[in-house]
Amino acid sequence: MKQILGLLIVLTLLPCMARALPVQSTDSTGPAAAIAEDIFFRGVASYEAADYKQALSLLRNFVLRQHDSPRIPEAYTYLGRIFVAQKRYNDALLYLERIPAEQRDRQAQVLIGFCLVNSGETAAGYQMLLPLAGETTLREDDKTALFSGLALASSRLDKPLQALFFYQHALSGSAPPNDVLQSAHQLLQGDVSENLLAEAAFMFQQSAIGLDARLQQARRALARKDDELARSYLETILSSATPFPYRHEAARLMDRFAPGGWLQGDTIGVLLPLSGRYSQFGDSVKRSMELALELYNTTQPTPLRFLYRDTAGDPQTSRQQTAALTNEERVIAIAGPLTGAASIAAADQAQKDRTPLLSLSQRTNLPAIGDHVFRNSLTSRSQVRALARYAIEQRGLTSFGVLYPENRSGREMADLFIEEVLKYGGLVTDDQSYATDATDFRPQIRKLMGKDPKKKDDTRYRPLTEEEILEDLFVPDLPDYPSTTFDALFIPDYADRVGLIAPQLAFYGIEDIPLLGINGWNSPDLLRLAGKFVQNAVFVDGFFANSHSPLVQEFVEFYRERFDEEPSILEAQAFDVANILLTLVGHPETRTRESVRAALTHLDNYPGVTGPTRFDFIGEAEKPLFLLQVKRQEIVEMN
């Protein structure tokens, strides 16, 4: 509050302190000057008519032909306005900063400050705009730019209440009110304190921003199960005559208190990338979930339904769609999303709205966001944990080497494997990395063998002399020392790359060492490319279509009959996610989101096609993975 009072005092004094800049007059005469003047005014008229292409052409023509005209600063200002209208802020600055400092009027200063803020130079833009906040002679669009720029800068500088103050002033400008209110809405929906919401609701109580602060207070009260307080906030919003673009959200929240219940207990929301670069994966997941829904509804007296929403793989869209499913569609639970950044945004919003979310994303630490977030997906940690447990507890191996690609996934897998091996009492004695596009692995292999990677092996043949043969007869036979210091080698890469590495391991002398791999090995390419060099290699996966499990065989048969192709792990995980939620939501005692959350928490060995599933105390799926091995040019199930 003190910040805002200080700003009000500054705004009151600034008009008195401002000094008018001298206005330059033109005394140019002659036909050329008259033509140039005509070009200038036509350019201005084109800008005002929003014909930016024509305005840009005319005004550029003017500054090229009349570079010494007193209207040049004004022309540069309009060129800046054109690029600001197109949100090309760096291009706008190229023209605006050509105006000499002593000739920059208030409008040029506002535009420069606004562009600086929007091009990432927040502090510099803020320092330029703040002294202009009390200026009363600005155009309406410049007032909007001034206060919108100050609001954005204040938000970035962690001054949220001040940002709201400036958004409130921006509402009096020429910008569409909903654009300003949407920016304020995003700020209020963010990680702001309860005290700030209360202060904003009080300060701006007669405005849409104040009502929005009340709306966010109501959401948080509902999340805390303080229904009485939430209801009072919502009644305040709905009884207000102030135009408010989010009034429908308040009305939907108020529906929770209507007789007969509020939730759509038969509806599960699904967030998937159904457009954009990940749409192929989103379509595959949707197809598998629809198969699960069809099978469920044919055997149950009360049908359920999935309500799909497209995230396009975008975090902001994912957050908005999560909020819409939660508060507008009133779903009882949510499945998805699939991609990393989108899943973080959705999980954060679902946790705020206290809606159980069962994700398919592999994003690290996703369930740690909160107690309403669960995950059923094969992760890097689950793979290396299963491998370390098998190698140490079942095979009795104690030392390991790691050969991994130099990318995020490779480094993560290598680090996690080292960590898990230590937990089970083993030791990683050597690790080497290679470029993701490498085809020659000799340097790394020689390092694993303790040899100089630059030294060439002497492969020339020379027959022994008679003396050397006699000497050799009296030299005692030495034991064959192993070529490496480890019992097994872990390679966290995909089948095509392993197909290049495995033959080179044997060629350079690392033979008869067990190879361990990840689910990326589970491909026909492994057998085609690596052949005998991966014989007896062991790797893990979250799904194996050729498993002897009756559940897996039944699912694969259904899927093949329907879609004429074999399901992958993605479709299998989607099938399990769908069935878990359908089973829990369809239970007669599951009537609230809280009861769905509790049921997920207490899930015990649900019989899924990716294995019997439960969730740990964080919300991570726990299940035995499929241990797979190469035997006689086939991939077979070990467990």
Q: Determine how many CB atoms are found less than 10 A away from the CB of residue 54.
A: 14
Can you tell me the distance from the alpha carbon of 401 to that of 516, in angstroms, rounded to the nearest whole number? 10
Q: What H or E segment, with its residue span, contains residue 634?
A: strand 634-637
Same-domain status, 1 and 129: yes
* Assigned domain for 112 exists: yes
Same-domain status, 495 and 363: no
Contact 204, 210 (CB under 8 A): yes
Q: Which of 231, 260, 289 is the last residue of a domain?
A: 260
How are beta strands 611-615 and 606-608 bridged, if at all? antiparallel
Same-domain status, 3 and 120: yes
* Assigned domain for 135 exists: yes
Can you tell me the distance from the alpha carbon of 487 to that of 495, in angstroms, rounded to the nearest whole number? 22
Classify residue 620 by its DSSP letter.
B
Contact 331, 267 (CB under 8 A): yes
Q: Which of 213, 244, 260 is the last residue of a domain?
A: 260
In the chain, how many domains are there?
4
Q: Where are the extended beta strands (E) located within 436-530?
A: 488-491, 515-517
SS (H, E, C) 233-258: HHHHHHHCCCCCCCHHHHHHHHHHHC
Same-domain status, 421 and 506: yes
Q: How far is CA 519 from the centre of its chain?
A: 23
Report pLDDT for 452: 85
The CATH number of the domain where 80 resides is what? 1.25.40.10
Report pLDDT for 114: 95
From residue 298, alpha-carbon distances to 287, 291, 559, 575, 576 in Å are 17, 11, 16, 16, 17
What residues form DSSP beta bridges with 427?
A: 399
* Assigned domain for 632 exists: no
Task: Kindly state the tokens that stand for 604.
Answer: 């015990």
Alpha helix locations (H) across 267-402?
279-297, 315-323, 340-353, 380-389
How are beta strands 357-359 and 373-375 bridged, if at all? parallel
What residues form DSSP beta bridges with 400?
A: 428, 488
Domain membership of residue 108 as a residue range: 1-16+27-175
Longest CA–CA span in the chain (Å) reads 114
Q: Determine how many CB atoms are found less than 10 A away from the CB of residue 569.
A: 19
Contact 501, 517 (CB under 8 A): no
Same-domain status, 401 and 515: yes
Same-domain status, 151 and 219: no
Contact 281, 338 (CB under 8 A): yes
Contact 344, 311 (CB under 8 A): no
Query: What are the residues whose beta carbons fall under 8 Å from the beta carbon of 155, sequence distance 6 or more?
Result: 163, 187
Task: Kindly state the tokens that stand for 578.
Answer: 């769908």
Can you tell me the distance from the alpha carbon of 237 to that of 402, in angstroms, rounded to the nearest whole number? 61
Can you tell me the distance from the alpha carbon of 114 to that of 77, in angstroms, rounded to the nearest whole number? 13
Same-domain status, 199 and 284: no
* Assigned domain for 527 exists: yes
Helices 72-85 and 52-65 pack at an angle, to 10 degrees, of: 150
* Assigned domain for 229 exists: yes
Report pLDDT for 29: 53
Angle at 358 between CA 356 and CA 364, to 5 degrees: 115
Same-domain status, 253 and 285: no
Q: pTM for the full model?
A: 0.67
Can you tell me the distance from the alpha carbon of 303 to that of 299, in angstroms, rounded to the nearest whole number? 9
The CATH number of the domain where 427 resides is what? 3.40.50.2300
Q: Tens digit of pLDDT for each residue in 1-34?
A: 555 545 544 444 444 433 333 333 344 456 777 8
Contact 304, 585 (CB under 8 A): yes
Q: How far is CA 264 from the centre of its chain?
A: 28
Can you tell me the distance from the alpha carbon of 237 to that of 416, in angstroms, rounded to the nearest whole number? 51
Task: Kindly state the tokens that stand for 39.
Answer: 């070009």
Report pLDDT for 25: 38
Q: Does the N-terminal peptide bond of residue 463 adopt cis geometry, omega within 30 degrees of 0?
A: no
Main-chain dihedrals φ then ψ at residue 638, nearest 5 degrees: -90, -35
Residue in this structure with the two tokens 């098998």, named with its chain if needed: 390
Regions of the chain where pLDDT drops below 70: 1-30, 173-176, 259-260, 457-462, 464, 468-482
What residues form DSSP beta bridges with 213?
A: none
Q: How far apart are the first and last CA of the chain?
A: 65
Same-domain status, 12 and 56: yes
Q: Determine how many CB atoms are found less than 10 A away from the CB of residue 340.
A: 15
Q: Tens digit of pLDDT for each residue in 533-584?
A: 999 999 999 999 999 999 999 999 999 999 999 999 999 999 999 999 999 9
* Assigned domain for 181 exists: no
* Assigned domain for 635 exists: no
Q: Which of 175, 209, 236 is the last residue of a domain?
A: 175
How are beta strands 626-631 and 634-637 bridged, if at all? antiparallel
Nearest to 212, CA basis, from 255, 175, 182: 182
Can you tell me the distance from the alpha carbon of 150 to that of 7, in angstroms, rounded to the nearest whole number? 12
Residue 411 DSSP SS3: helix
* Amino acid sitting at position 267: T
Q: Where are the extended beta strands (E) located within 385-512?
A: 399-405, 427-434, 488-491
Can you tell me the distance from the alpha carbon of 619 to that of 377, in angstroms, rounded to the nearest whole number? 11
Same-domain status, 564 and 516: no
Same-domain status, 569 and 607: yes
Task: Kindly state the tokens that stand for 3.
Answer: 């910040």
Angle at 620 between CA 619 and CA 623, to 5 degrees: 130
Classify residue 521 by its DSSP letter.
G
Same-domain status, 160 and 12: yes
From residue 385, alpha-carbon distances to 281, 381, 382, 518, 623 in Å are 27, 6, 5, 11, 11
* Assigned domain for 165 exists: yes
HSE value, Cβ hemisphere, 13 Å, CA-based, for 273: 19
